[in-house]
Amino acid sequence: MAIDGKYAIEGTMMGRKAEGILTLKVDGNKLLGAYSSMGMSLDISEGTVSGDSFEGVIESKQPTGGTVKMTLTGTVTGDTVKGQMKVLMAKMKYEGVRVSEEEAECKKITTYDEFPEPPGEYTVGRTQMDFDYTSSAGLKRELTAFFFYPSDSNEGKPTAEYTFPELHEMMGAQKHMQAMSMSPDGFFPLDFKTWCYDDVALSDKEGKYPVLFYIHGGTAYPQVGTLICEDLASMGFIVIAIGHQDTGAYKRKDGRLFNVSEEFINTTLGMAQDPEILEYSSQLMSAGRLSEEKAIEMCRNMLALPAYIDLAKDAKPQAEDVRYVTDCLAQMESGELESMFKGRLSLDVGIGVFGHSYGGPSAAMVCRDDDRFVCGIGLDSAAMGVLDDDLGKPFLLLCAESSYNLNAVIGANNSKETYFAIVEQAVHYDFCDWLFTSRMEALKGTRDAMEMRDIVTSYTKVFFEKYLLKKTVEIASLTFDGVDQFVRNSNTSV
């Protein structure tokens, strides 16, 4: 029948581009076939055909043991197909064209089994510590933190586990993830190879090492920045990645598990479904990077919406977590708090902080509020929570083109240098580990993964060398094709 064939389809689900291969085969009035995406193929069941129209169900087994059903409807006209997929609360209108077997094969995603080897001279060590404190709101917060640090040897140990065995099940239990996590392996394989080694000795090549904090994105996990943390540790930095209660999923060293809170998930879902935000998001996706004046206006209008203000509230506890662990660093340096870092932390030069996505606003808040921090970086983040604030510290915004529209106001407000490095052909998750770990092509941009890694690592390294270590280096010396960089501050006219 005319319906039979393979179709390369694409659409947008929950604000993100989705692509795949839809294979349709008719047997009488029954529809057979499969939907291939996210690194795997899922069969169509309960399929029926009526003329050129069809419907069916795509089932995906989840890490929790249950299944997620996605309903599929569509119509074929000649060599084109149009229709809708619906899973939980998310809908995607798709369209596509008939392709050959060879063309369908070319659509397969490039996958990786390990991170690229760190570029620096040091072996990378990793250790974990738990921290408990009472927040300024009077709430008990139970955290964990991973310290990535320079070492001289792996001491014959195997590479450290990327995350922990329960993480897929925990992510599968998050209702907003079920709409996107169609693979039983979630967003990454648990056995993904790292280049760090647990609890090896701190290097003796230097007496002390500078300290950075990495803040993960909302609903993520502290190890989601392993790639950049390993790279920086191999070049002589100690990088601390905290598991943040309520906004992250993590396993403490004491073995207890903490998942993202239902309240935070409901907040993110509410934002994703807010009519005003959906309208602005549609404008962002169609407009691409706006002019500076219009981008600043977009920031002020969009991030002032009640749903964004509500979402920004949980970025403040993340910032407070960083400041508390910073208090503990002084105790670790003095030996009051037992650790391998006694006398080895270069705290006198200050501290740097950087965060991806939801972690970016927290990094900005830390810079604004704590003079122990001398500079910060937002990796494809947004100005939520700091919309009208002078950060008073040098800040770098390394982002995809459309994300500039949610950050431009920082350069207009900040009395210190605000660097922008805007990366073409990049998408949101290219700025974290999912650049290599993800099996979902919809979460990746079209820029080469190794080149994208080099961009993020190079800008982060040079920025911290300039403002934390006071080295004579210039960010303008970095030249990558398709990366537009410029500097702004509150004294710069638009």
Residue 189 lies in a domain: no
Residue 254, beta-bridge partner list: none
CATH number of the structural domain spanning residue 34 = 2.40.128.120
pLDDT for res 63: 47
Q: Is residue 185 part of a domain?
A: no
In a domain, 471, yes or no: yes
State which of 106, 137, 169 marks the end of a domain.
Answer: 106
In the block, tokens 């002032």 appear at: 304
- Asked whether residue 40 is assigned to any structural domain, the reply reads yes
Is residue 412 located within the same domain as residue 454? yes
Task: Look up residue 217 and give its DSSP letter.
Answer: P
User: By the 8 A CB rule, do 398 and 454 touch?
Assistant: no
Q: Is 390 within 8 Å of 365 (Cβ atoms)?
A: no
In a domain? residue 493: no
Give every CB contact of residue 262 below 8 A, 6+ residues apart in sequence: none
Q: Are residues 320 and 403 in the same domain?
A: yes
Which residue type does 223 have? Answer: Q
Q: 129 and 51, same structural domain?
A: no
Q: What is the pLDDT of residues 405-448, one digit of tens each?
A: 999 999 999 999 999 999 998 989 999 999 999 877 667 788 99
- For 420-440, the DSSP string reads EEEETT--GGGGSTHHHH---
**What pTM was computed for the model?**
0.85
Domain contains 25: yes
**Domain housing 55:** 5-106
Cβ–Cβ under 8 Å, residues 61 and 67:
yes
Last residue of a domain, one of 106, 139, 167: 106
Query: Has residue 258 been placed in a domain?
Result: yes
Give the chain's end-to-end CA distance (angstroms, integer): 59
* Of residues 288, 295, 316, 1, the one with CA closest to residue 136: 316
Query: Is residue 147 located within the same domain as residue 59?
Result: no
> Both 479 and 354 in a single domain?
yes
Q: Which residue has the tokens 């407070």?
A: 320
Question: Could you tell me if 79 and 203 lie in one domain?
Answer: no
- The neighbour count for residue 169, using CB atoms within 10 Å, is 15
Q: How far apart are CA 364 and CA 431, in angstroms?
A: 17
Comparing CA positions, the residue from 47, 67, 259 lying closest to residue 182 is 67
Are residues 222 and 255 located together in one domain of the fold? yes
Number of Cβ within 10 Å of residue 448's Cβ equals 11
Helix (H, G, I), strand (E, B) or coil at 306: helix
Residues 6+ apart with CB under 8 A from 326: 213, 351, 370, 372, 373
- On whether residue 221 sits in a domain, the answer given is yes
127 and 34 in a common domain: no
Examine the domain organization and report whether 465 and 434 are in the same domain. Answer: yes
- Rounded distance between C-alpha atoms, residue 5 and residue 306, angstroms: 47
Sheet with 373-379, strands from edge to edge, namely: 196-198, 123-134, 140-151, 238-243, 211-215, 351-356, 373-379, 395-400, 418-423, 483-488
The count of domains in the chain is: 2
Q: What is the 8-class DSSP label of residue 225?
A: G
- The pLDDT profile of the chain, 494 residues, written as one tens digit per residue, is 589 999 999 887 655 567 788 999 999 889 999 887 755 678 898 899 999 999 999 876 654 455 667 889 999 999 999 999 887 556 788 999 999 888 777 666 678 999 999 999 999 999 999 999 999 999 999 999 999 999 999 999 999 999 999 998 888 787 766 655 445 355 688 889 999 999 999 999 999 999 999 999 999 999 999 999 999 999 999 999 999 999 999 999 999 999 999 999 989 888 877 888 878 777 776 677 889 999 999 899 999 999 999 999 999 999 999 999 999 999 999 999 999 999 999 999 999 999 999 999 999 999 999 999 999 999 999 999 999 999 999 999 999 998 999 999 999 999 999 999 999 989 899 999 999 998 776 677 889 999 999 999 999 999 999 999 999 999 999 999 999 999 998 776 44
Q: How many CB atoms lie within 10 A of CB 21?
A: 20
User: In terms of domains, do 136 and 25 share one?
Assistant: no
What is the Cα–Cα distance from 58 to 331, expressed in whole angstroms? Answer: 54
Identify the three-state secondary structure at position 224. Answer: helix
Considering the domain architecture, whether residues 48 and 99 belong to the same structural domain is answered as yes
List, in sequence order, every residue forming a beta bridge with 133; answer none if it has no partner.
Answer: 141
